[in-house]
Amino acid sequence: MNITLSVTQLDRWNQTGYIKIPGFLTAAETENLREWVDEISSWPADDEKWMHHFEQTPFGVRPARTEYILAFHSGIRQLLTQGKIPECAGELMGEPAILYKEKINYKYPGGGGYAAHQDAPAYEFIRNHITCSVAVDAATPENGCLFFAPELHQRGLLHLDKNGCIDAEYAETLDWEPIPMQPGDALFFSSYAPHKSPPNATEQSRRTLYLTYNAVTEGDLREEYYADKRRSFAQADPTSDEKLKISKIGHFDGKPA
């Protein structure tokens, strides 16, 4: 399937730095994705393979994130590397796109939120990159959907704090738009678009896939990114922080398990 975005969609993307495409996956694709995410979340911990991150919630220890999935799941590999998701990312980028990283953020009941941030500081190896998020469960302001501040994606990095996030006082001055999603909806966003999300205050999970693509002209840097991430996590002192570190920036408010 060839993806062609309308002029209105492209204008919105250029103006705000993000665009939601309702019903991006078909019902059958959405159902497959839900089954695959159920499967992946039950994989045993294996530091040599996929990377699971767990958080302490009021209801016990729950998975917060799984990443580095591609080599271990053929359905996910096909969805992320062929067809409409990479094609649409390429169309928005203005040149063919290649996968840089992939993750599932689970946000189970009581799961932590994310402080206001831009993704760019976490992805050191690439310049031109965008992320596609795909809803596995419905996402609402109550269960922790994303909120975006529009029209700031062309201003570079904004007032970063010591964690690589947007300074909290500055973030409070921004206008935040919630982006609720239904399963199968996609939301593409620039790596400079400021976003954040609250904790999950409901009894249902809010699982979302996040797929980051860079311009092919910058190279295939995924393995290098993950090798570097594994190295820096292995060197970090796990007891040094009250927050669970799941990224190279300190944006996640979940508690260590």
Least separation in angstroms between residue 20's CB and ligand AKG is 15
102 near ligand AKG (CB under 6 A): no
Point out the residue whose Cβ comes nearest to ligand AKG.
Answer: 197
Q: Hey, what are 179's tokens?
A: 């982006």
148 near ligand AKG (CB under 6 A): no
Output 16 or 208, the one with its CB closest to ligand AKG.
208
Torsion of CA 194, 40, 126, 253, to 10 degrees: 40
d(CA 84, CA 146): 22
Least separation in angstroms between residue 173's CB and ligand AKG is 20
Least separation in angstroms between residue 105's CB and ligand AKG is 4
Least separation in angstroms between residue 131's CB and ligand AKG is 8
Q: Give the one residue of 195, 207, 222, 229 binding ligand AKG; rule: CB under 6 A.
A: 195
Please count the residues of this chain forming the interface with ligand AKG, following the rule CB under 6 A: 11
197 near ligand AKG (CB under 6 A): yes
Output 114 or 192, the one with its CB closest to ligand AKG.
114
Binding mask 59-98 for ligand AKG (x = CB under 6 A): ----------------------------------------
253 near ligand AKG (CB under 6 A): no
Q: Give the one residue of 36, 68, 114, 148 binding ligand AKG; rule: CB under 6 A.
A: 114
Q: Give the one residue of 143, 208, 212, 214 binding ligand AKG; rule: CB under 6 A.
A: 208
Q: Which residues bind ligand AKG (CB under 6 A)?
A: 105, 107, 114, 119, 144, 146, 195, 197, 208, 210, 251
